[in-house]
Amino acid sequence: MKKITLAVALLASVLSLPAMAANFRWANDGDVNSMDPYTRQETFQLSFMANIYEPLVRRGRDMSLEPALATRWEQTAPTVWRFNLRPNVKFQGGEPFSADDVLFSIQRARAQGSNVVEYVSSIKEVRRIDDLTVEIETNAPNPILPAQLFGLSIMSKVWCEANNATAPADLTASTENFATRHANGTGPFILGIREPDRRTTLRRNPDWWDKPEHNLDTVEFNVVANSATRVAALLSGEIDMMYTVPPQDMERIGRTQGAKLMEMPELRTVFLGFDQMRPELLKSDVQGRNPFQDERVRRAFWQAIDTQAIHQRVMRRQSRPTALMIGPGVNGFDASIDQRPPVDVEAAKKLLAEAGYPNGFSLTMDCPNDRYVNDEAICQAVVAMLARINIRINLVAQTRVRYFAEINPPRYNTSFYMLGWTPVAGDAISALFSLAGTRDGTRGVFNNGGFSVPELDQMISQIAVESDQAKRQTLINQALTLIRDRALYIPLHQQQLVWAMRSNVQVAQMPDNYFPLRYVRVGE
């Protein structure tokens, strides 16, 4: 009798695992900043945490919106959305999911220390109708609210209150709370071991509400800063996947038996920004004035930077040079206005002289060295190009954790910097609202240069509520053209998304560079 009971128990244990349950090991050059999903509006952070936490609305393999913690949603009035919530869902700590968690999460996303305020910026009020129904009222009609909520992970009100984590820790102030190193979501994976800057492990959530498409039992994520070491680990079989592949390593991986590449255009635009707010730059030898407040100086920088050369030599043609802050695949992109000024060193020197800098000036450039494809190499190329117009650059390249704490809110401690942006809703309004609007606490949060153009603010406000697609496109074109013509930013390119993995690994690659583990299968 005991043997039969034991056999039944073993069979039940086996059946509870996905078919061919596997361990999956992968690596990236930088770590997740925090286990708190609200502390960084950065793709890798958001993507990793989306395996533990879930939004109301998620994206499928084809990027279409699909139900997650909300089973359905509808617009019941021009400014009101009703969301029906999924029943019988529990957080990994055992707490039942309900409307209270949605209200709490939206409030927490607005709290000091949050970097995801963009997702809830249009919300005026959230109302609890019952345990499984909420109404969200916006300040004005917002036709893309469900797409914006894709980026908002829902947290447990009970868990956060019990652990004194009701607001995100401010990573720029090097503070922590319980949610910094612990997690409690509703998603397909549960946090295991957390060793910052080294490794993080996950295990399958056996009580996940959805039917798994993955066959993973455990996941091990490793931080391997050196590209050559990551490639060697992949080719030797020490890891199953590397998330970012430098262009210079693609040929070697592609011709190695047992390994394969996946690539597609990414929605992210990589660009350069200037401090245009301070009367005197923090990191320059120019005294008593800010050269970037003069449009001629910004245009001189743009005409000195050869994005085609960066595309060919640094990116090995794994990029798409651009003149706009959004690219193909983003709603609102129009190729007819994607025209940048020609590279012209002599014209750039003339512009600098007209602005009062005939001999150029010295300046510090802030750059990440583990965030974007060949980021430090791109910055080094920019340094060499600007030297041709007598701009002397001191390049400071740092890991993403230190870099973002330096240049992003609330410090904005930079004079000239590199950044990348993927519109979370797949729409131009994301880049315009967060990068180009005047900073007011919700709008312009990542306008790190602090510029303020009332005409542009008016366009952004109209775009956010315009339902006529032709009128909306006209406004988007006007806003993007203004940014381009006044050189408020210098767009560089949309990078090519390249992942590498062992031949027996199947994944879903998405143009927003999200990496959902729920689609990973190993050994088939």
Tens digits of per-residue pLDDT, 461-517?
A: 999 999 899 999 999 999 999 999 999 999 999 999 999 999 999 999 999 999 999
Q: Is the pLDDT assigned to residue 216 strictly greater than 50?
A: yes
* pLDDT (0 to 100) of residue 170: 75
Pinpoint the alpha helices (H) of 345-388.
345-354, 375-387
What band does 3 get if pLDDT is binned at 50, 70 and 90? very low
Please check the confidence at residue 524 and state whether its pLDDT lies above 90: no
Residue 476, token pair as written in the block: 């988007």
pLDDT for residue 172 is more than 80: no
The answer to whether 367 touches 376, Cβ cutoff 8 Å, is: yes
Calculate what percentage of the chain has a pLDDT beyond 70.
95
For helices 295-304 and 345-354, give the axis angle rounded to 10 degrees: 160
pLDDT band at 311 (very low <50, low <70, confident <90, very high): very high
- Please enumerate in sequence order all residues whose Cβ is within 8 A of that of 475, keeping only pairs 6 or more positions apart, or say none: 459, 462, 463, 466
- Predicted confidence (pLDDT) per residue in 244-272, tens digit: 898 999 999 999 999 999 999 999 999 99
* Residue of 331, 336, 338 whose CA lies nearest to 472: 331
Helices (H), 305-449: 307-309, 345-354, 375-387, 400-407, 428-431
pLDDT of residue 5: 37
Tens-digit pLDDT profile for residues 295-310:
999 999 999 999 999 9
Instruction: Identify the pLDDT of residue 179.
Output: 97
pLDDT, one tens digit per residue, over 424-471 is 888 999 999 999 999 998 899 999 999 999 999 999 999 999 989 999
Contact between 381 and 399 under an 8 Å Cβ cutoff? The reply is no
The whole-number pLDDT of residue 21 equals 74
Which 3-state string (H, E, C) describes 279-299? CCCCCECCCCCCHHHCHHHHH
Q: What is the pLDDT of residues 62-78, one digit of tens each?
A: 999 999 999 999 999 99
Q: What is the pLDDT of residue 177?
A: 94
Average pLDDT over residues 19-31: 87
> Which band of pLDDT confidence, cut at 50, 70 and 90, is reported for residue 18?
very low
Q: CA torsion sign, 215 to 220 to 225 to 231?
A: negative
Taking the CA atoms of the chain, what radius of gyration do you get in angstroms?
24
Helix or strand holding residue 261 (H, E): strand 259-265
DSSP 51: T
Longest dimension (CA), the chain: 94
Which pLDDT value is given to residue 20?
59
pLDDT digits (tens, 9 = 90+) for 268-286: 999 999 999 999 999 999 9
> Which residue is it, tokens 């509703």?
186
pTM, two decimal places: 0.87
Structure confidence by residue, pLDDT tens digits, 190-201:
999 999 999 999
pLDDT at 13: 38
For residue 169, the cross-strand partners are: none
The pLDDT of residue 10 is above 70: no
What pLDDT digit, counting tens, does each position of 370-422 carry? 999 999 999 999 999 999 999 999 999 999 889 998 999 889 999 999 999 99
Whether residue 12 is predicted with pLDDT greater than 70 in this model: the reply is no
